[in-house]
Amino acid sequence: MFRHGVASGDPLPDGVVLWTRVTPSADAEPGSGRGESVPVQWSIARDAGFAQMVASGSVVTDASRDHTVKVDVAGLAPATDYHYRFSVAGEHSPVGRTRTAPAADADPGRLRFGVVSCSNWEAGFFGAYRHLALRGDLDAIVHLGDYIYEYPQGEYTGRSGAVRLHEPAHEIVTLADYRIRHAQYKTDPDLLALHARLPWIATWDDHESANDAYVDGAENHDPATEGDWHTRRAAAMQAYLEWMPVRAGGGASDARLYRRLRFGTLAELSMLDLRTYRDAQVSPVAEWRGVDDPARSITGEAQMQWLTSGVTTSSAQWTLVGNPVMIAPLLIPPLDPDSTRALTELLGVPASGVPVNVDQWDGYQADRRRLFESLAATGRDTVFLTGDIHTSWSADLPLEPAHYPAGPTVGTEMVVPSVTSNNFDEILHTPPRTTSVAIEAALQGVNRHLTYVELDSHGFGVFEVTAEAAQMDWYFVDDIADPNSGARYAAGRRVAAGGGRSLPTGAPLVDDGARA
């Protein structure tokens, strides 16, 4: 009945989203459009045995929402662990555990999040999720996008091919396709365990719809064979909202994934949607100067106003931004726009230097400038938590890259590796820690604000914020082709409150079981 487990998400001081999917009959498979409507009971309690019941209720689900169930429970106590389950005709789901956020005026002392991104089913097993589920010290999981991948069987695999095959076999395009793919991912035992263990705070990137998506299309969307882009994107969004424990704003036709969560006086987390509203990426070389165009946006006007307003008015000590694509400048070389203006106009390169990847914020430099200037005006402690690029980075965020380290910085970025999606050595078909090592050094030599780069490993991050500092620890999985793989601590970077620079930590955060 409950083949796809349970999940929770978007914790508030007094509430949380609970999720499950029921299979009421053998023919009511995900995406099938079949199966009768079903009344589903939900319960939430202080204990796993449900002797200390706090709230309960009933909802009806049917094929119109793919028999998924999502309940936004209110009236809970802040900073409290709860257990929850669903029931149909006396049959119970697995028991999930969740946790509410601290009260808005409370000092939680510390927050710890597991941070993940880019989990491709065919490339490997989700051992990163298993190792996070084994920890006892986390408040929530932050997923920064590419929770699923849209590709057909065999198109985007791991180093030695597919360790398991996607369903459906073709590239997903329709609502039924997206539902089937989401359902497949929610059969992975490590994913199920982590969803049942902790609340998730998730946003999407491009592969929940199509590669390099933008407002009117995507790199691998062909209208001639795959139909209207907006129809496809609407299907992707509908399936995402059905299958993920997220609390979206707006209505069915204009659902908004960007949203903000408060964690007491310590931190406020803004989760961004950098696919729905962005302008098309420029073509490298031919349109490079377009990255400077102030009319082009990665966020869209409304989201940028929401973001800058939030970061400038928040009363929390730390501003955290859940950021699907890298915001730190990655330029060859970083240029001073004032002193090199004649040169850049003559050569036709962007004002700040040649971007390595125009799908990142580097391709939308006017938007980044607007945001960085807002952050500079506030002087607030800011950390961007980022995914997408399948590799591990930390960076100080200079207002002018060419002036670093003498010039001002506006925050720090911590980028987590992929759970399984191809990284540098796999793309190049080279052994790990060979070719990449020299490239890492070269990137840091040119971009001096990069404080850590590792291009080869898969894994996850553990991020802590306290009144004194913020710290990211990177953990790497030994072998994504092994479903029982171990994981190891790789590196840590720490940034002190009050405008500090990110520095090596020397030791990982201790799993003290404080949230167990």
Tens-place pLDDT, residues 15-64 = 999 999 999 999 999 999 999 999 999 999 999 999 999 999 999 999 99
- The percentage of residues in the chain with a pLDDT greater than 90, rounded to a whole number, is 85
pLDDT for 135 equals: 97
Query: Which two tokens mark 216?
Result: 């009117």
Question: 350 with 288: CB under 8 angstroms?
Answer: yes
- The percentage of residues in the chain with a pLDDT greater than 70, rounded to a whole number, is 96
pLDDT for 515 equals: 81
pLDDT for 292 equals: 87
Phi-psi sector, 88: left (phi>0), alpha (psi -120 to 50), beta = beta
Q: Taking the model in full, what pTM does it have?
A: 0.96
Give dist(CA 85, CA 53) in Å, integer: 11
CATH ID of 1-100, from 2.60.40.380, 3.30.1300.10, 3.40.50.2300, 3.40.1410.10: 2.60.40.380
How far lies 344's CA from each of 340, 351, 370, in Å?
A: 6, 6, 21
Q: Would you tell me how many other CB atoms lie within 10 Å of the CB of residue 216?
A: 12
Looking at residue 116, what DSSP letter applies?
A: E
The pLDDT of 99-108, averaged and rounded, is 97
Q: Which of 194, 189, 201, 288 is nearest to 246 (CA)?
A: 201
Confidence band, pLDDT 50/70/90 cuts, at residue 306: very high
Residue 340 has pLDDT above 80, yes or no: no
The pLDDT of 409-425, averaged and rounded, is 96
Give dist(CA 133, CA 140) in Å, integer: 10
Residue 162 has pLDDT above 70, yes or no: yes
pLDDT for 370 equals: 96
10 Å CB burial of residue 270 (0-12, 13-18, 19+) is buried
Confidence band, pLDDT 50/70/90 cuts, at residue 347: very low
Residue 403 has pLDDT above 80, yes or no: yes
Domain 101-504 is of which CATH architecture?
A: 4-Layer Sandwich (3.60)
pLDDT for 343 equals: 45
Residue 406 has pLDDT above 60, yes or no: yes
pLDDT for 356 equals: 80
- The angle subtended at Cα 201 by Cα 199 and Cα 204, nearest 5°, is 140
Residue 245 has pLDDT above 90, yes or no: yes
Distant-in-sequence, close-in-space partners of 363: CB < 8 Å, separation ≥ 6: 281, 282, 291, 298, 355, 357
Most trustworthy range by pLDDT among 295-309, 335-349, 401-415, 440-454: 295-309
Confidence band, pLDDT 50/70/90 cuts, at residue 290: confident
- Mean predicted lDDT score pLDDT of the chain: 94
Beta-strand ranges (E) seen in 231-283 are: 259-263, 267-271
Q: Are strands 318-323 and 267-271 parallel, antiparallel or unpaired?
A: parallel
Residue 346 has pLDDT above 70, yes or no: no
Residue 90 has pLDDT above 60, yes or no: yes
Give dist(CA 458, CA 481) in Å, integer: 11
How far lies 369's CA from each of 46, 176, 364, 397, 442, in Å?
A: 46, 40, 9, 11, 25
* Helix residue spans in 20-61 (DSSP H): none
Confidence band, pLDDT 50/70/90 cuts, at residue 352: low
Report the half-sphere exposure of 92 (CA within 13 A, side-chain side): 10
Q: Kindly list the domain boundaries of the chain, sorted by start residue.
A: 1-100, 101-504
Residue 341 has pLDDT above 80, yes or no: no
Tens-place pLDDT, residues 169-194 = 999 999 999 999 999 999 999 999 99
pLDDT for 284 equals: 77
User: What are the φ and ψ backbone dihedral angles of 253, each rounded to 5 degrees?
Assistant: -90, -15
Establish whether domains 1-100 and 101-504 are of one fold.
Answer: no
Confidence band, pLDDT 50/70/90 cuts, at residue 514: confident
Confidence band, pLDDT 50/70/90 cuts, at residue 499: confident
Longest Cα separation, the chain: 74
